[in-house]
Structure 1
Amino acid sequence: MTTTPRPGSGAPGASGHDWRAPAAACTTVILWASAFVSIRTAGEAYSPGALALGRLLAGSLALGTILLVRREGLPARAAWPGIAASGLLWFGLYMVVLNWGEQQVDAGTAAMVVNIGPILIALLGAGLLGEGLPRRLLIGMGVSFAGAAVVGLSMSGHGGSSVLGVVLCLVAAVAYAGGVVSQKPALRHGSALQITTFGCLTGTVACLPFTGALLSEAAAAPVSATLNMVYLGVFPTALAFTTWAYALSRTTAGRMGATTYAVPALVVLMSWLLLDEVPAPLAVAGGLLCLAGVAVSRGRGTARRGGTGPVVPEPEQATVEAGQARVERR
């Protein structure tokens, strides 16, 4: 059975704005930040490919179960090119390469290189999806990238670095950006749950060559590492990628990419609370910059005609609202 739900059909609240999309974006950011803490434990016992496959298997099982319970079926045929591309790039390549890269470079270098991703998303979204580059988005991304760089500099020196590691993190950033931009059109033809489930399954199939390594490493891994791998699959993957897709279907790829600049700030806080790693003052300052940039990029910019006319949305927001209106009229 093929079911094609109405993207962006959620009704706004009494204020005229739908609070569910920002809530979904916040859920994604928090869970993705928590993944860095879990990867630390799981990565000590599992190699990059095995960890990615185990995480994707857990995520696919959770997502598949929910999909069957909800009886959503398959997305429309037009969604499959985007599902395949995002599954291979984001669920597959990104997870493996990022796990590998973080074994080669220190956390600071990895943070700075991977945070090129949101900039690439905005550029690709403008060039391929016609989203445009609103001034607030550009300013917010600049502030957040500066904050991420400050966090990275504050964390540098806590590990080795290599040219290979930098290249791997750069590949991860490109795969991340390509996956997001590929997923955006697919969300016009299927629900967030459908697109995420089949994207995760695609990544799982792509990572099946690591089955042997996963089985051998799981036999020797401590229970804590395996539990962290399962957590990565159920929450930062199954839940967080679904809430991401839900929010992405209701805004632009550029604005969603800018939202992830809050992740480094939350990682600093979680490391402080859960790993007893007291953040340096420079890391705290960088985290605050990241959050400030996200606030700017996610804000609803306005412009006035002739200085005294009515307030109108920025072009980017107007495009989103017009698209949602067309969907609702159908």
Structure 2
Amino acid sequence: MKSSPRFLALAGTVVLWASAFPAIRVGLEGLGVAGLSFLRLAVASVALAVVAPLTGVRRPRGRDLPLILLCGLTGMSAYQVLLNWGEVHVPAGTASLLVALAPVFSVLLATAFLGEALTVRIVLGSLVAIAGAAVIAFAHGGARVSAGALVVLAAAVVQGTYHVATKPLLGRYSGLEVACYAMWAGTALLLPLAPGTVAAMAHAPAAALGSAVYLGLLPSALGFVIWGYAVARTTLAVSTAALYLVPPVAIAVAFVWLGETPHWIELAGGVLGIAGVVLINRRRSPAGAVPGARAQRSATAKVTT
């Protein structure tokens, strides 16, 4: 029973991040893409600012600010805007299947920019995952690609970029510290949206406002905290495997909450995509890897919302 807290943390992370996809659909009603993007990050930033002194979050070094800014731009600002924009046209469950491909782009970018080895397994896994994304994109349009699916796929690309950009920072800061820095930077970058957000809030329904607060406090702020706790205390294989559950849980929550039923072609594409991610991540951790190193490596396999 001593190991139960870490698995409860993993389970909580899966449920929180999965529930974010249908919650976004609710928040878009009344707040719109820009309003929901800024309000969610603002709520999360305030929550993390309250937690930071209690958890020993340090001030970042000046030389790391450009990389932190890149993390905020990709993993927070661009990701939120693209995902929210995509979910205007794409069901929540479909969006979760596409975002699950973020680790593919993380690995490919790490190969290109960080000098990580490109293996046959990575190539095959990437091809399988991209084939799955193509199936989802063409699911309803026949020979036409779904623009909404492409936008969500772009969100997965910037999320993958974020994971790669965090790797150097994770060698100098904790996972929670990096999450705080990126969240605050991302919120600052979206400050031009603040006036429009305030105007939208004046007329937004209570459900949309409640959804934005929920997204900021739970999937964003609490999700990062308990994820960091879990990955520091579990193996890479366990933490990565847990995240494969995000899309099916998101589909189930979207069905119960929104009445969304994904098309069988989308589900088939999702299975292909996740199979590709599984194939890429079937790499053994080096013997004797310490928990901190496992947490850093599992950051490349993370699916966030």
> Would you call these one fold, judging by a TM-score over 0.5?
yes
- Partners of 2:21 and 2:250 within 8 A in 1: yes
- Cα distance change of structure 1 residues 88 and 24 upon mapping to structure 2, 3 Å threshold: farther
Shift of 1:113: 6.5
Map Cα deviations across residues 9-67 of structure 1 (whole Å, 9 max, x no partner): xxxx99xxxx95x8766654442221110011110111212111100111011111111
- Partners of 2:132 and 2:268 within 8 A in 1: yes
Map Cα deviations across residues 267-300 of structure 1 (whole Å, 9 max, x no partner): 222222322334444455555555555554444x
Q: What residue in structure 2 maps to residue 60 of structure 1?
A: 45
Q: What residue in structure 2 maps to residue 180 of structure 1?
A: 163
C-alpha RMSD of the superposition: 4.2
Aligned counterparts of 1:292 and 1:34: Cα–Cα separation in 2:
22
Q: What residue in structure 2 maps to residue 208 of structure 1?
A: 191
- Partners of 1:184 and 1:249 within 8 A in 2: no
Whichever residue aligns with residue 181 of structure 1, its letter is: V
Aligned counterparts of 2:289 and 2:131: Cα–Cα separation in 1:
30
- Cα distance change of structure 1 residues 243 and 58 upon mapping to structure 2, 3 Å threshold: same
| Higher RCO (C-alpha under 8 Å, 6+ residues apart) | 2
Q: What residue in structure 2 maps to residue 47 of structure 1?
A: 32
Shift of 1:188: 1.2
Q: What residue in structure 2 maps to residue 267 of structure 1?
A: 250
- Cα distance change of structure 1 residues 105 and 35 upon mapping to structure 2, 3 Å threshold: closer
Q: What residue in structure 2 maps to residue 197 of structure 1?
A: 180
* TM-score, structure 2 as length reference: 0.74
- Cα distance change of structure 1 residues 270 and 170 upon mapping to structure 2, 3 Å threshold: closer
Which range moved further: 232-241 or 222-231?
232-241
Aligned counterparts of 1:264 and 1:210: Cα–Cα separation in 2:
30
1:150-189 paired onto structure 2 within 5 Å: 150=135, 154=139, 156=140, 165=148, 168-169=151-152, 171-189=154-172
Shift of 1:265: 3.0
Q: What residue in structure 2 maps to residue 69 of structure 1?
A: 54
Q: What residue in structure 2 maps to residue 125 of structure 1?
A: 110
State how many pairs are aligned: 290
- Partners of 1:259 and 1:298 within 8 A in 2: no
* TM-score, structure 1 as length reference: 0.69
Aligned counterparts of 2:230 and 2:67: Cα–Cα separation in 1:
17
Q: What residue in structure 2 maps to residue 321 of structure 1?
A: 289
- Cα distance change of structure 1 residues 220 and 114 upon mapping to structure 2, 3 Å threshold: same
Shift of 1:148: 5.0
Q: What residue in structure 1 maps to residue 223 of structure 2?
A: 240
